[in-house]
């Protein structure tokens, strides 16, 4: 399948959807405190998205029950909001999708709940750092596999490993589209499609501690590493404009 090249008016619509994702993540980051439940966080996120005029695109997507993926501690991605109470020292991943005027936004952050350990700080810093490092390296003509290699190298040089079998992705009038963008290289970096102006996609480094082999909980959604250790996840949606990547879901930290 060909990777879509978006026109400026389409990128504007994707930016509008993405900005609502960024604003919602910022709102949740400033609002969440120890003692809240994951369901309460999900309810707040959905209400804020709707207040800003968009739909929470994750709600009902592939059967997902929430509007916000709330991935707590050992859960790396796709955590289902439930009655679990978050506590001081936890780390919480928040992944949000929106739909506005037929176009989708998608981004994620991992946040500390109060004071966390230096080990958890390093884990979160690796995921965030890998994301921004990769975005800064994007240029027209490079291959997506080169981008994958950049992500993998950053993660492994920081002493961590990327989660396998899950990846970043294209986005537009569908929440997930071509291409797939893993955080680990299979094959050679000089293979596969090249990045072009007008492409819009999500990069999302999912960082584990000892093993990148995924383990699925009984809810059939929550993804952990088989090492059962804490993990981190960051994601931005970017558009390639005038030869470089522009973030459409910027989240203030």
- pLDDT digit string (tens) for 111-154? 999 999 999 999 999 999 999 999 999 999 999 999 999 999 99
Range of the domain at 234: 8-247
Rounded to whole angstroms, how far apart are CA atoms 122 and 114? Answer: 15
Residue 239 has pLDDT above 70, yes or no: yes
Whole-number Cα distances in Å, 163 to 58, 133, 136, 208, 209: 21, 18, 22, 6, 9
Give domain status of residue 70, yes or no: yes
Closest CA to 175 of 57, 17, 94: 57
What the block records as the tokens of 125 is 């810093």
Give domain status of residue 163, yes or no: yes
pLDDT band for position 251 (cuts 50, 70, 90): low
pTM of the predicted structure, to 2 decimals: 0.96
Residue 253 has pLDDT above 60, yes or no: no
Give domain status of residue 252, yes or no: no
Give domain status of residue 100, yes or no: yes
How many structural domains comprise the chain? 1
Give domain status of residue 18, yes or no: yes
Contact 123, 210 (CB under 8 A): no
Give domain status of residue 1, yes or no: no
Q: What 3-state class would DSSP assign to 124?
A: helix
Give domain status of residue 129, yes or no: yes
The alpha-helical segments, DSSP class H, found in 36-193 are 38-51, 118-137, 144-157
Give domain status of residue 3, yes or no: no
CATH number of domain containing 241:
3.90.230.10
């Amino acid at each position: 399948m060909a990777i879509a090249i978006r026109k400026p008016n389409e990128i504007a619509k994707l930016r509008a959807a993405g900005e609502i994702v960024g604003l919602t993540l910022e709102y949740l980051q400033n609002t969440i405190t120890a003692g809240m439940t994951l369901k309460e966080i999900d309810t707040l996120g959905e209400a804020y998205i709707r207040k800003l005029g968009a739909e929470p695109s994750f709600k009902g997507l592939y059967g997902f029950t929430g509007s916000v993926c709330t991935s707590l501690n050992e859960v790396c991605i796709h955590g289902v909001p439930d009655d679990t109470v978050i506590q001081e020292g936890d780390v919480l991943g928040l992944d949000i999708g929106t739909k506005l005027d037929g176009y989708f936004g998608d981004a994620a952050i991992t946040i500390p709940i109060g004071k966390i350990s230096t080990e958890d700080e390093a884990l979160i810093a690796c995921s965030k750092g890998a994301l921004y490092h990769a975005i800064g390296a994007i240029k027209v003509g490079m291959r997506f596999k080169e981008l994958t290699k950049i992500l993998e190298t950053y993660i492994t040089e920081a002493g961590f490993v990327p989660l396998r079998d899950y990846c970043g992705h294209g986005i537009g009038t569908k929440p997930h589209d071509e291409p797939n963008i893993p955080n680990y290289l299979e094959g050679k970096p000089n293979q596969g499609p090249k990045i072009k102006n007008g492409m819009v996609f999500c990069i999302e480094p999912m960082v584990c501690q000892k093993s990148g082999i995924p383990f699925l909980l009984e809810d059939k959604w929550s993804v952990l590493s088989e090492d059962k250790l804490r993990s981190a996840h960051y994601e931005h949606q970017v558009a390639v404009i005038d030869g470089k990547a522009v973030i459409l879901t910027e989240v203030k930290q």
